[in-house]
Amino acid sequence: MLLHNWPSAFAHVDCDAFYASCERARRPELRAVPVCVLSNQSAFVIAKTYDAKKLGITTGMSVRDAKKLAPRAVYLTPDFAYYGQMSDQVFSVMRRYSPEVEVYSIDEGFMSMHGLRTLWRKSYAGIADELRAAVRSEVGITISVGIAVTRTLAKMASESRKPDGTTIVPGKAIEAFLAEIPAGDIPGIGGKRCALLGQFKIHTALDFASAPQFRIKRLMGKLGVDLWHELRGVSVFPLELEPKLPKSVARTAAMGEHTSDRTLIGAHLARHVSRLAIELVTKRYLTRRVLYTLRLSKTFDTEGTEVRFRFPTSNYFVMVEAARQALDVLYRPGVSYWGCGVVASDISFAVSITPDLFGLMQYDDQRGRLMLTVDEINRKYGKGTAIMLSSVPLKNPRRASRFRYPMLEVD
């Protein structure tokens, strides 16, 4: 392995039980009970606190099974807009300590530690502990921090001492660290690959790093070789400081029936536009082009027309007006349709766009807050409680709503 401790240094910061911890942060009374966050359809568990984990609840478990194990636990619908705000706060703290921060996901990221010991006049452990304390104090959740000479080792380090732990793996300590880690805990190695490695007596991360390179290449290809180098202390994966944009964001679905009713088709299309607008606003995306599609009942072919906007937008009202114009082009009286959808492309980050001269994009931002409010109401009181007026003709036979707020379209 390495003869030097710090030829390079990366930190991996991982929020502990993030979604569930966020719920406890805004509702302190939940700290005394196990908490599970459910999928949008409340069908299964997507996150849980550590005390819920001790009761046997696992991610992906059905709500029915979870409640058998922990009937007194609190089960909550997710609030992704709120989790996004909490994530922003965590990364804001991280950027105070390092100018180079990669947002890896909503609840984890990487930092370059190059030069930070001199800057902060602290050891890596001291910086990590101070970072953990700052997040705990300012955001109200805990994080685990791993620092090592490569990204992969740093990620494995943070996961080795959770929750609220600091793990430092200098170059000369790599072998001792890897000897305690099962091969299946190496990032990128799943169950099938782990079983394959086991056939060649590769059971620990140290076995993997000590195996001949040609064998790892034969078993796992280039990914395996890259991991092999990373585990041996040779940095292969650099920080990705610019977040990646999706090529497109789509919201499509069958209508649940074959129909030639233009009003009903328009309502379905408006519903997809509403879902798309919420997705764009919560993730701070803007789109310049939207493809509107209808799917024919008879041939299952898809017909579409694309609308290009003057300015990048996430404004529901702009996109739903374009949907009406698209329907004028696509809809044929007497023809039966069974599905529709919207696909946004030419995506950009809202913060990277220069505002237009006439303030239309600022107006879009104000309308975007309305979509966040709609999303918040639906997450708090149930899907479909607040709807856009354009989709009022839709019926939801699966859910008998106690009450519903139609959202008026106003100028």
Report, as residue numbers or ranges, the catalytic residues. 108
**Does residue 28 have a cis bond before it (omega within 30 degrees)?**
no
Residues 6+ apart with CB under 8 A from 137: none
Q: And the tokens for 23?
A: 């719920």
Residues 6+ apart with CB under 8 A from 372: 81, 278, 281, 282
Q: How far apart are CA 122 and CA 264, in angstroms?
A: 64
Does residue 384 contact residue 401 with C-beta atoms inside 8 Å?
A: yes
Residues 6+ apart with CB under 8 A from 85: none
Q: And the tokens for 1?
A: 């392995």
Q: And the tokens for 309?
A: 């906007």
* Contacts by residues 369-377 (CB-CB < 8 Å, ≥ 24 positions apart): 370/316, 370/407, 371/274, 371/277, 371/278, 371/281, 371/314, 371/316, 372/81, 372/278, 372/281, 372/282, 374/274, 374/278, 374/407, 375/81, 375/278, 375/281, 375/282, 376/79, 376/81, 377/405
In the block, which residue shows the tokens 């509702």?
27
